[in-house]
A and B are shown apart, each in its own frame.
Chain A
Amino acid sequence: MKVTKPIQSSNDFVIKFANVNGSGSASANELFARAIMRMGVPVAPRNIFPSNIQGMPTWYEMRVSGAGWLGRRGGCDLMVAMNPQTWDRDIAEIAAGGYLFYDSTKTLPHSRFRDDITVLGIPLTEMCNREYTDPRQRQLFKNIMYVGALTALLDMELKAVEQLIADQYRGKDKLIGANVNALKLGYDEARKELPCPIGLRVERADGVGDKIFVNGNAACGLGAVYGGATVAAWYPITPSTSVIEAFTNYCRKYRTDPDNGMARYAILQAEDELASIGMVIGASWNGARAFTATSGPGISLMQEFFGLAYFAEVPAVIFNVQRGGPSTGMPTRTQQSDLISCAYASHGDTKHVMLFPEDPYECFTLGAQAFDLADRLQTPVFVLLDLDIGMNDCLCQPFDWDDQRRYDRGKVMTAEELEAGKNFGRYLDVDGDGIPYRTIPGTHPTKGAFFSRGTTRNAYAKYSEAGVDYVYNMERLRRKFETAKKLVPAPIVRRASHASRYGVIYYGSTSPAMAEAFALLEDQGVHVNTLRVRGFPFADEVIEFINEHDYVFVVEQNESGQLRMLLINEGEVDPKRLIRVLHYDGTPITAAFISGRIADALAEHKVTPIRKQVAS
């Protein structure tokens, strides 16, 4: 019989938890991830969950990476199989030489296991039934018990986990004791009955530093608070709902008037997405900073209003947490497939500003910046994140804020300026940047009022059907988007260690996988320069980057290459020079996928890798 050696690895492996949703496993799994980070080892966890509340399979995939790679790796070295429904596929997924941890209360026939993995069973259900009488406790503490067992199996510091529990339940001493007790039961049982530690180990390291662990949706909500948003209108939709939940929580914390407990914000759940964006436009027209959060289907519903805001030139901020489309698509899986539907949303000739954060830190910074841009440009600004960044906690640099910074409210004409006789033409381009002045309703008793409309008008906001007025306006809007190119966040370029004729363009949640792929390729002697797009319309540097390379790989998480389409369309780039690297099965893209595709394509192009020189 073939003998497979058990995998040996320190601080570099993937654990996957197979659970039933609604069983309370999510918080236990997150606790475990945090415990590893408390030992200074970076972890990238991802929830893979169904569109369901209770009873369906759910997985929590946790990449432990001492090197700090936060992209999804794929594969599974240790499966924590807690869901009988998915047993067979979970067992099949374990890498040869990997490990299986399971609840051995019920004896399973030998045929349900594999010979090339290490099987580790403890009778969790039996232990819980012995220890607890309340069914809810039996379920919840079973989760903590397996965390205890894993602590022993991976040779982790029990004290670190205990401390974490104490921190999490501070002030609720009863819960601390009960959780620590369950943790120790699992820990002791594993130490007694199983070969602890196994080949996978967590060793204390210094890879986390001052990084924070937070999800992108929470960071967007916080960014909206710091960006000065006072009105949020929304309609529930996965995976964006928690943006509003976070905004609500942060507002309660930071925006409650200390004197009277009143709210310096207004959050309204609308009857649908049309009403949400209508409210945002109404509030912004009236001079407040306002936003909504939605996902693909909501974007489809909002189309007519996007056109109105574009043409009447009303600011608006839209957080689009993208999920798998088309139609209802894969509502609990990730994709970057709304670029086209946002870039040119609505009928007629429209174009919209988009921002692409790569992680929670940028969800915060670009989220806050979106409000300045919307006011400055007087147009909708879309912040396009996705489910992968939005709903998964992720290590990122700590949030920061410059207290000297003041909100840029853009060109708003004041009562004093009107009183002094300053010429006001709502759609008049006074200084060539394409952006006109606006007035906020209620500013002046006799000057500066105008009638906003989606119909054509002249520079003084008077209704017009004259072609010359229409063309003036459209040309001004084009100039405005030239201005926008300079205002959106600049792209970030990374050069290979050797000069290269090949480039890679990517954006958003592809970032961690791309960073790792870059290192993998460099190791293989394959050199590519990379550029991360952060905004649309594209800054000139983006097109220049393409022009300085023979070929550019465009890495995306959608089926049709939507960024590539925009680059071809907006940059007038020869399509042959842009090579698609597309991943779109709903799972986050991996470094192995990117580096594999690029290496294969370069081999076809007969590019010989530059061998690394042997160190002398």
Chain B
Amino acid sequence: MTYLVKPKLLWDVAPKNALGYTKRDYEGAISTLCAGCGHDSISAAVVQACFDLDIQPHRVAKLSGIGCSSKTPDYFLGNSHGFNTTHGRMPSVLTGAALANRDLIYLGISGDGDSASIGIGQFAHAMRHGVNMTYIVENNGVYGLTKGQFSATADKGSKSKRGVVNNDSPIDLVALALQLGASYVARSFSGDKEQLIPLIKGALRHHGPAFIDVLSPCVTFNNHAGSTKSYDYVREHNDAVNRLDFILPRDQISASYAPGSLRRVVQHDGSVLLLRKLDTDYDPSDRVGAMNHLQERHAIGEIVTGLLYVDSSGEDLHRHLNTVEKPLNQLGDAYLCPGSMALTALNASLR
């Protein structure tokens, strides 16, 4: 992790958002990842998304596990509290944090080792609990920090840099998220910010468990011929079902689209997801259809990207638990402690 401080040079000309913040206000420390790492593009996309959405940086809590991807929350949103937890256990810590204060925006950053191997249990249960969060997996199919071992998302038959062939079947986190009840499921590519930024914006404004699997090539250990997570391979096999335009309630919808190619989804908070269909048969409100589509395309070697599923009903864990509107961490003593009178009555019932 970095101990470098980014110089705070500000230009008057730097564009400001509605809160008066520049993009620099959403940045963090200088990345210590390898030059060209896909993860840095994802960090940049997070910065852009938060800037565009006029999010108060301190209203975001960013949590991660352990690994290259989990280091990245240090590199964006320097004015947000962050928690770099233990390997594979970010989902439980995030769940607890979300229970304590329902008003913050929770951003979980993880990797394929962190979420598909050691943390697959916690990944699964956070999805099924319906935690209101944006969960991004920076997926490179490889363990970078420990120098190049296969992860559980590596495709069967793919080759490591040292020429070893992976014989294990891959875990598709998107398929799992769909099955486990995530209400916003997307896949993207770190090299495609046009696709990625709107997907992150949509996820941040989504109410409920939002999952984005971002293929993010490892330039050092997984960007060679024979890898199915290299820049070249992903570009060649990318099969986008749609392109998303994210529109805040206050914005005018100005762009014009060919009739029939557009799908409009209004989210719980009033924000609008405009989906330009690239695959005319694809329906992002059909969970089972999404799962089928994913499997069919995977069988012919294609990587499906785009917003694969969205359910904007606004279900989440707090609704299931019927918790009060005021964040639990802000309830005062008087709301928490029943006091001595209640004990007198209770004592009487215990005799």
Within 8 A of A (CB), among B1-20: 1-3
Which chain A residue lies CB-closest to B81? A441
A40 to chain B, nearest CB (A): 11
Q: How many A-B residue pairs have CB under 8 A?
A: 228
Q: Is A400's beta carbon under 8 Å from chain B? A: yes
- A187: chain B residues at CB < 8 Å are none
B347 at the interface (CB under 8 A from A): yes
Task: Check if B258 is an interface residue, CB within 8 A of chain A.
Answer: no
Q: Are B2 and A231 in contact (CB under 8 A)?
A: no
Determine if A262 and B84 form an interchain contact, defined as CB atoms under 8 angstroms apart.
no
Q: Nearest CB to that of A398 among chain B residues? A: B347
Instruction: Pick the interface stretch among A67-75, A112-120, A265-273.
Output: A265-273
In whole angstroms, how far apart are the Cα atoms of A225 and B333 in the complex? 11
| A254-281 near B? 1/0 per residue, CB < 8 Å | 1101001111111110111011111111
Q: Is the CB of B347 within 8 A of A212?
A: yes
In the bound complex, do residue A286 and residue B61 qualify as a contact, i.e. CB atoms below 8 Å apart?
Answer: yes
Q: Which residues of A contact B321 (CB under 8 A)?
A: 263, 266-268
Q: Quick one: which of B79, B101, B329, B350 contacts A445, CB cutoff 8 A?
A: B79
Interface pair A400/B89, CB less than 8 Å apart: no
A264-B324, A442-B58 known; A451+B82 contact, CB < 8 A: yes
Task: Enumerate chain B residues within 8 angstroms of A264, measured Cβ to Cβ.
Answer: 323-324, 328, 331, 335-336
- Write the nearest CB–CB distance from B117 to chain A, whole angstroms: 15
| Any A CB within 8 A of the CB of B73 | yes
Q: Indicate whether A128 reaches chain B with its CB closer than 8 angstroms.
A: no
CA distance A402 to B340 in the complex (A): 7
* B342 close to A (CB within 8 Å): yes
Chain A neighbourhood of B350, CB < 8 A = 212-214, 398
B343 at the binding interface (Cβ < 8 Å): yes
> Is B96 touching A278 in the complex (CB atoms < 8 A)?
yes
Q: Is B269 an interface residue (CB 8 A)?
A: no
Query: A464 within 8 Å of B by Cβ?
Result: yes
* B78 at the binding interface (Cβ < 8 Å): yes
A557 to B73, CA, bound (A): 47
Q: Which of A276-322 contact B (CB under 8 A)?
A: 276-288, 290, 304-305, 308, 312
Digitize A129-156: 1 where CB-to-B-CB distance is under 8 Å, 0 elsewhere: 0000000000000000000000000000
Range class of the A interface residue count: 35 or more
Partner of B343, one of A267, A288, A401, A439: A401
Residue from A285, A444, A454 whose CB has the most chain B CB atoms within 10 Å: A285
**Max chain B C-beta neighbours (<10 A), residue from A214, A267, A275, A442:** A442
Q: Interface 1/0s, chain B 327-351, versus A by CB < 8 A?
A: 0111101011111101100110011
Q: Is A446 an interface residue (CB 8 A)?
A: yes
Note all chain B residues with C-beta closer than 8 A to A214: 350
Q: A442, B61: Cβ atoms under 8 Å?
A: yes
Q: Is B271 an interface residue (CB 8 A)?
A: no
What is the CA–CA distance of A206 and B325 in the complex, to the nearest angstrom?
Answer: 50
Within A442-473, which residues are at the interface with B (CB < 8 Å)?
442-446, 449-455, 462-464
Q: Provided the pairs A230-B331, A257-B324, A268-B129 are in contact, do residues A225 and B338 lie with their beta carbons within 8 angstroms? A: yes
Asked if B343 and A446 make an inter-chain contact with CB atoms under 8 angstroms apart, the answer reads: no
Q: Is B125 on the interface with A (CB-CB < 8 A)?
A: yes
Name the distance in Å between A313's Cβ and chain B's nearest Cβ.
12
Q: Does B265 contact A (CB under 8 A)?
A: no
Apart from A210-B351, A440-B329, 9 more pairs, CB < 8 Å: A262-B322, A268-B321, A278-B93, A281-B85, A288-B329, A290-B99, A442-B104, A451-B73, A462-B3
